[in-house]
Structure 1
Amino acid sequence: MKILERVSIVEYEEKYAAGVAKMWNESRDNWGGDAVVTTAEDVVEKEAESTNLHLFLAVVDEEVVGYCGLSEYKEDKGALYIPLLNVHPGYQGLKIGKKLLLQAIDQTVKYGWPRLDLFTWPGNTKAVPLYKKCGFFWEDRDDATHLMNFMPQVLQIEALRPFFDKHDWYSTSVRPIEIKPDGRKEKGFTFYEYRWEAGEEFVRVQFERTGRGISLIETNDWQVEMEVPDFKLLENKDYPVTYQVENFTSEGLEVSLSGNSSPLVNEDLNEETMVESEWSTSSSVQVQVPDQEPSPWKTHPVIGADITINGKRLPLRTGVFPLQAGKVDVRTVQKYWRPRQKGTLYLDVESRMEEKTIWTIKWPRQKVIEWSESSVEVEVEGKGRATIPVSVELLKNGFLNEEVEVEGRTEEGRAFSFRTKIALAFPGFGGKFGGDTDTEWYGYNGPYYVRIEKRNHMVSIGSVRSKEDPLLLMTPKLGHPFSEEFSKKMATSVEYIELAEAFVVKTSLESEAFPGIVLNSYYKIYGDGLVELHHELINNGDNDYKNLHLLQPVFPKYKALTLPEKDGVVIGAEALIPYTEYLRDKDLSERWLYTTNRAGDTFGIAWPKEATGRKDDWRFAFDYPLDQLPSGQKICRGPIQIGVNVTTHWSDWREMVLGEVNPLPEKPVFEVVPKEGFVSKTGDEVTHSFRSLLTPHVYGTLTVENDANLYRKEVKREDGVTAIDVPIVHERPGLTTLTGTFRSEGRNADFITCQLVQGDQKVNVSQEEDRWTVDNGVLTFTASPSYFPGIYSLCHQGREFLHHQYPEAGPRSWWNPWGGGLRYVMDGVSPFSMMKEETKVGSVSKEDQDGNHWTGICLATTFHEHEKVKGVTLKQYALTLPEVPVVAVYAEIEQGAPRTFAAEKIALEAFLKPDENLSLCYARIPTEGVFHTYYAGVEEYELESGPSVVIGSDGKKDHLMMVHSQTRKQAEMYMNQDVFLVESVHEWSASSQKAAAVRPTFFVIGEHEEPWKQHPFHRISFKGI
């Protein structure tokens, strides 16, 4: 049996979810080769939230091989829509797509809808012949590849039914099929034509593009046609519209004609006659200009009539574009204005008249700008354009929204006039205002704005100073089932509300899918770039609603995306901009997202506790379950928060929207990570895993090199994994470095990481008088509280890395007393004051997040003398592991003072000298500039440090890498002829009897010559911090 004969078209049920997932995973090449991995659970969730009226599946021997959704078209009235059509690549060319499309057309006819639309992309040339053969016309547009199918209307015309009852419309179609946009252009119109032939019988039907209606029908027996003189018609001018009927039979036709045009068309048409051969009639029509210019996304105003032939109705409709005699636009090339600033506006004028005209434009008096002249005169060619610079002075930041009067005359002296609206925003510092153009509503506060499209309530949030495109809030939806009704509705009202702290734009949308429900949206724009969105639902109807949901989709650009998970924050450090489908939305542990681009523009997104942030097909969305909304009641929800350049780092955005929270470590999207943890013991097998924190499968070849051993593993796409594992036994203790590559068909990566391998030797802590020394077998560090309250010496295999003058602190450079080494310094506490306090030292063992024990010393200083911090105890920890050349340093602050400390600073100072000669010691700092290495002991430098810095000296292969805490406020370096200082500044707060902690900084000694981009140290924390 042929495959096509085994294909059945069925309605989707959950039992098909696994088959649908399999089809999508095997159809990637149909959709650009993306790496999205779909599961049965994904399908169940997506289809449960879908706005589809029907979902048709093509099934062959229980395998799902085709998919076709059918929903209401959200961009225009009067049409259903195919949001997604797919045929499994292994089953293409077998007419399965045709069966699915014909099923969708049949269902559209059953519902009584006149049209079926879909979108595709210009390069989808394989599918275009199928679409056209099934009745679709490709619209000639620049902004979208949009196809319209009028077959449902044709098949519902009673007068044509005899032909289509006898003949299959698909097989009798003789329409030319070409891989290009369709249409015959004439007098500004675009006409689409169907033609069917079966022996001596034929039918021809012509549709006009913008009115989406029939302009001509011809059969063997008769022809009806309407003719409009031009597509663009001037308002208040009489135009003749002709209707013609031809009778090709020997019997007369009973014909009646009644006008059925849009409300903007003035027409009086009502006639009846008997047509023996040929009959035509003309009516005089006038058009009015609508409040909004007709959009290519919508059906235009139409001129038309219902003609009946022998009692059978034939609807004729032709779309038109009503115009004034001219159009005036005012524009500026300047983004930002300040009061009393003088500048230039550009007046763009367009004449719709045939002859040359002279216009006089009179400027209205208003409070936003002052015109240099009260009027301007311009000569415009027939149907021509002109632009004129106009000098102005800004009176105040605001929205210029005025009607201007245009008086004109032709060369023959005939006078005319019209009034037109000009609209332009003048944003500037502190300017809070709103206004609207023909197509959009705006709200501004300083450079920040909210822009709302009138036709579909799509909202853009951005800044005029940003280099990034605005964030897009898609049309809200009510459900279940979710309705797309608001996507083709204009708000019933818009209000502008100025508050002391913000500017608010309020829009109101009335639901028909849920009668009586009004959705009010409040967009609150703050002057610092924060925008808050509150929703208010009011039930003005008689029905009580239960289990109502409000869905607010958003479409961010996921550049350098940051998202929170339970054990850290996923950081998008790659150039890859992920799709929404790549996100693991169920792993989100907190209510926020954050993105940034290379220019430094940031977007923060956050949602309230009562909402769920989740995927909504290719969008992200916030889902509010509303439970009950009784008649006469209202519910308020929100706010959803959007931050436009509000913070420069994700941690600040997180703290802003969540309040006081514990810090989270960063995790890159892709990395090589040991499953058993970053700390192991000699002889242990550690599984090093190259893994992705996104949903797409990882496939390719992973190569890892460690201690001259090479490990290689290859994984194929069909293996369906998100991690590639390589088990390695680490035989030697210390800091073992792993380098490697990942190669796939589409990407190449290089990486370097490390493993901390503990040896068998124990860490020894010894005391000699007041000198405390920690020895882990490969390095030692020493503290002496009577000398200076810090670690003054750090030696690796006998080589000193710290700079000090033990046994006696004294003056050096800008400091007195100076003890060097490394220590934490509390703000406002001088070295003299610190030396006055008693510091106690003791051995200590601390457990990290994976249960590994680090050993070292703690220096505890309780302040009794210093007035500001009296009662506070500063604990400085220095810890290490057996035979591992790494030292972890962190601080705890026990706040015993009877006061609260807020936003206090504490700095970690490290004075470094890895060679006896300071001028041979250097810091290596990767930057965007040309200099990367700076030497101490030569001249004075102040330098900004990155997340980590490599310290070395000429002639020595071992370097010290100082890895700063991610919670630092800043990190800098200072060099002069006497010292080499690296400093990181942190912030702490604590009320009385509470404690605060500074996360660890790591000192790593090895042969690394550059700071590592990825490493494990930021994830190491100690219990109690």
Structure 2
Amino acid sequence: MTAVPVEQKAVSFTSKLSVLMKGTHGRFGGEAGEQWIAVNGAFSLHLDKLNNNMWIEYPGSHHSFWWNYPKLGKPFAEEFSKKQAKEVKIYAEGESQVLEALYESEDFPGLEIKSVAKLFASGIAEFYHEICNTSSKGLEENMYLLTSFGFFGNRLILPYQGHYVDMGDAYSSDPNLWDSAQITENWLFNKDRNVGCGICWDPSLKLLRPEYPLGLEHDLGRISGGAVVRTKTTVFALNTFAKWWDFRSFARKLRNPVVPMLDDHLELALGGGNPFLAGPLNAELIERKMVPLAGSLELYVQNGENPEWKVADMKLQREQDLSSVSYEFSHGEKQDPGNGESGWKVRAVYRGEDWVQERSALWLPQTEAAVVCGLEEGAAGPVYTVSNGILSIAAAPGFGSVVHSLKHEGEEWLDSSYPEVAPRSWWNPWYGGLGVDIPGMSGFSRQQEPRSATWAERVDVHGNVWKGLRMTTVIEKQEANRGITIDQHYLMLPGVPVLCVLHSVTNESGMVLPHYSLTDDNFIKPSPVFSEGWMEIPGEGRFLLGKLEAQLHSKGLLRIGAISRHNMLHVVNNYDNQSSSAYVNNKVFSHGVNHHLSLLNGGIAETQPTFLILGRIDLNPEDVRDLQKLTFASPTDEKETLHADH
């Protein structure tokens, strides 16, 4: 290039220009300005010549991960923070594109470090180091190597203090606010709006925080003369796993099909996490980050349609160094006896020194009432009834494998053709009520299979004893599902306005069925006048029954009511493990929760529970997190009490 200043001699100089142009396929690499770059598909791996840090890039993604230069010690030396690599190689190996950088140590003469990074077109990058003792003499002391990395994000998900914690935002995700020693598994994950990325390491290594970035310490031992020692591999994945549980399964090399609900970094726990605990209300605010609770805590409670009222205003001093604070509230004196509402909504307002946060939860205390099971004669044969004093259900196996009646304070909430099967809208035959849809099996085929009903009892993870009804269908005739047994459970607690819906499938078909699908098939009628009903999906508005035809997907919570009723029905499910949707037209309103099960031959698989909550309190997704976390022991671990057979 030549530049000619005005009325002066021309000046010529040479400048090397480079630009990275990559597509979605192909592998290549080379030198580009102050970087070495290896490309595999749409992903590129970069090595900075000046500070020896590495990072990954992908079009449109923004993340805060980098792989630092290695440090030998102890004490750990900083010599490679500026020292350029002696040699850099980029080449293809299998499905990866490899970048190698060779460094000679001056602080530890005779030692060479080869930093190796393998980039795959899936967005996975593997990092490790090879340390070579080039002398003929072995080391007299153990040598260590510290590999460090930065990993930040707008929503970190951490295996922390024995919980899976959602840090929620960039502020709470800052590593200054959490203790690396409390990381209980070998991975971290970050879920931003447009990118998901994770990092994992060998489970034998302990995550450290020696300084600003995070680190892993490798014990290389006393390296013999001429020997090469390789560190454990650390893996970074960019846009490879959209869900944290999938990445966790990859990191742990263990797949559990049930995805647990995440805990909050600042959590409001009622009854120690048991939303059905009887007695006085114990509300506890738990701070999981490395900051003390300081400021003030206000607690508000709401019962039924009454406005919420403040029950506590607590001052929290930094000098107390509190990681949790609790308050006990006796609800008996404040409850309106004419209200008829047994559920309570609790809201906590934490006014900390740095920011104000709100949390809410639902409390549904058990009472001393009994769950009463009865048997009576009906138009379709014996009718099994269950009542807990506030809810009641009824089912007649002679009619079908459905609960045809659900009443709350005497009001019916189900739509059913009981006592006779009849066509309705798209369904023929149609039973309505609460039932299940068995894949590949019509209603006519269902009628030909043996059905029975029994009383059932199940215990949840908190020790609550649920009692109710089990309806069993044994498929003997239909070829596609022969050998399958479906057990439908409809369970209650004493005095609690909640119906738990839980199913199990026994596979005696002689085959492994890894992708079996079972769907809750519920038909709801929130008012005798169909057009008075409505449904709401939080964040999407209210839809009027009888005015539209639509299939709408919900995410863990569906709210149902009618203009003529004060009470509402909330349907709650664990959306990480299930997909749920509502269908409405001018004649029916149905709600379904789809369960994907993996069935071994001779095995039993159980669905995650779905909860139907009735009452006057308007619930939001954050209010029902404790219900979404609730699990039951495997059916093979419990014995059900059988008092009747049909």
**Aligned counterpart, 2:234:** 640
CA separation of 1:676/1:864 partners in 2, compared to 1, >3 Å: closer, same or farther? same
- Is 1:714 the counterpart of 2:310? The answer is no
- Alignment match, 1:514: 108
Shift of 1:884: 0.6
Please name the residue that 1:674 is paired with: 270
Structure 1 residue aligned with 2:364, among 747, 753, 756?
756
1:725 to 326, 344, 351: 326
Kindly indicate whether residue 633 of structure 2 is the aligned counterpart of residue 1023 of structure 1: yes
Structure 2 contact 549–585 (Cα < 8 Å) conserved:
yes
Distance (whole Å) between structure 2 residues aligned to residue 868 and residue 587 of structure 1: 50
Q: Could you tell me which residue of structure 1 aligns to residue 156 of structure 2? A: 561
2:37 alignment partner in structure 1: 442
Which position in structure 2 is the counterpart of 1:122?
Answer: none
- Would the alpha carbon gap of residues 956 and 514 (structure 1) be closer, same or farther in structure 2, given more than 3 Å must change? farther
Q: Give the secondary-structure state (helix, strand or coil) at the position aligned to 1:1017.
A: helix
Q: C-alpha distance in 1, partners of 2:142/2:486? A: 55
Q: Taking every aligned residue pair, what percent have the same amino acid on both sides?
A: 25
2:544 maps to amino acid = Y
State the Cα distance separating 1:867 from its structure 2 match.
Answer: 3.1
Contact 1:759 1:882 in 2 (8 A): yes
The residue number in structure 1 matching 2:511 is 899
What secondary structure is seen at the aligned counterpart in 2 of 1:635? strand
Match of 1:960 among 542, 558, 569: 569
**CA contact 1:666–1:1018 (8 Å) conserved in 2:** no
Greater C-alpha Rg: 1
> What is the CA-CA distance between 1:545 and the residue it aligns to?
6.5
Change (3 A) 1:1006 1:636: farther
Amino acid of the structure 1 residue aligned with 2:576: T
3-state secondary structure, aligned to 1:450: strand
CA contact (8 A) 2:38 2:45 kept: yes
- Give me the whole-angstrom Cα distance separating, in 1, the residues matched to 2:141 and 2:517: 53
What secondary structure does 2:398 align onto?
coil
Q: Counterpart of 1:672 in structure 2: which amino acid?
A: L
Residues 678, 756 of structure 1: 8 Å contact kept: no
Gapped regions of structure 1 (runs ≥ 5): 1-325, 327-350, 357-381, 383-409
TM-score normalised according to structure 1 size: 0.57
How far is the alpha carbon of 1:499 from its aligned partner? Answer: 4.2
**Distance verdict in 2 for CA 1:886–1:550, change over 3 Å:** farther
Give unpaired runs (5+ residues) of structure 2: 304-308, 336-340, 636-646
Amino acid in structure 1 at the alignment position of 2:533: C
1:489 aligns with 2:97: no
1:863 aligns with 2:471: no
Q: Are the equivalent residues in 1 in contact too, given 2:123–2:240 (CA < 8 A)? A: yes
Q: Is the 8 A contact 1:570 1:667 kept in 2?
A: yes
The residue that corresponds to 1:875 in the other structure is 487
Distance in 2 between the 1:436 and 1:539 partners? Answer: 29
Partner of residue 528 from structure 1, selected from 108, 122, 125 = 122
Alignment partner for residue 407 of structure 2, among 795, 800, 807? 795
User: Deviation at 1:562?
Assistant: 0.9
| Matching residue of 2:338 | none
From 555, 568, 574, the counterpart of 1:946: 555
- 1:326-362 per-position Cα deviation (integer Å, ceiling 9, x unaligned): 5xxxxxxxxxxxxxxxxxxxxxxxx6x5x34xxxxxx
Tell me the matched-pair count.
Answer: 614
Structure 1 residue aligned with 2:596, among 983, 987, 1005? 987
> Contact conserved, 1:543 with 1:630, CA < 8 A, in 2?
yes
Alignment of 1:620-631 (within 5 A): 620-631=214-225
Judging changes above 3 Å, is the alpha-carbon distance between structure 1 residues 840 and 553 closer, same or farther for their aligned structure 2 residues?
A: farther
Match of 1:687 in 2: 282
Partner Cα separation in structure 2 for residue 663 and residue 607 of structure 1: 22
Does structure 1 retain, via aligned residues, the 8 Å contact 2:155–2:173?
no
Query: How many Å separate the matches in 2 of 1:548 and 1:863?
Result: 66
2:433 matched to 1:821? yes
SS at match of 1:923: strand
What is the correspondence of 1:645-664 to structure 2 with a 5 Å cutoff? 645-658=239-252, 659-661=254-256, 663-664=259-260
> Matched residues in 1 for 2:180 and 2:321: separation?
19
2:131 partner letter:
L
Higher mean Cα deviation, 802-811 or 820-829? 820-829
SS at match of 1:421: coil
> Match of 1:510, as an amino acid?
E
d(CA) in 1 for partners of 2:486 and 2:224?
Answer: 59
Residues 736 and 756, structure 1, Cα contact 8 Å, conserved in 2: yes
> How far off its partner does 1:500 sit?
4.9
Q: Cα distance, 1:985 vs. partner?
A: 2.3
Q: Which moved more, 1:624-633 or 1:763-772?
A: 624-633
1:510–1:518 Cα contact (<8 Å) kept: yes
User: Given residue 895 of structure 1, which amino acid in structure 2 is its aligned partner?
Assistant: N
Structure 1's 621 and 574: CA in aligned 2 closer, same or farther, altered over 3 A? same
Higher-RCO chain (CA-CA 8 Å, sequence separation at least 6): 2
Residues 447 and 464, structure 1, Cα contact 8 Å, conserved in 2: yes
Q: Which residue of 1 aligns with 2:179?
A: 584
TM normalised by structure 2 equals 0.88
Cα distance in 2 for partners of 1:624, 1:859 equals 57
2:447 pairs, out of 835, 846, 849, with 835
Structure-2 separation of matches of 1:905 and 1:739: 38
Judged with a 3 Å threshold, the aligned counterparts in structure 2 of structure 1 residues 784 and 641 are, in CA distance, closer, same or farther, namely farther
Cα distance, 1:555 vs structure 2? 1.6
- Structure 2: how far apart are the matches of 1:601 and 1:618? 24
Partner SS state of residue 804, structure 1: coil
Mapping for residues 176-215 of structure 1, pairs under 5 Å: none
The answer to whether the Cα contact below 8 Å between 2:26 and 2:40 also exists between their aligned partners in 1 is: yes
SS in 2 for 1:586: helix
Deviation at 1:821, TM superposition (A): 2.3
How many angstroms does 1:574 deviate by?
A: 4.6
Change (3 A) 1:758 1:633: same
Q: Please state how far the C-alpha of 1:688 moved relative to its aligned partner.
A: 0.9
Structure 1 letter corresponding to 2:393: F
The answer (yes or no) to whether the contact 1:679–1:758 under 8 Å persists in 2 is: no
Deviation at residue 842 of structure 1 after TM alignment: 1.8
Alignment correspondent of 1:737 = 345
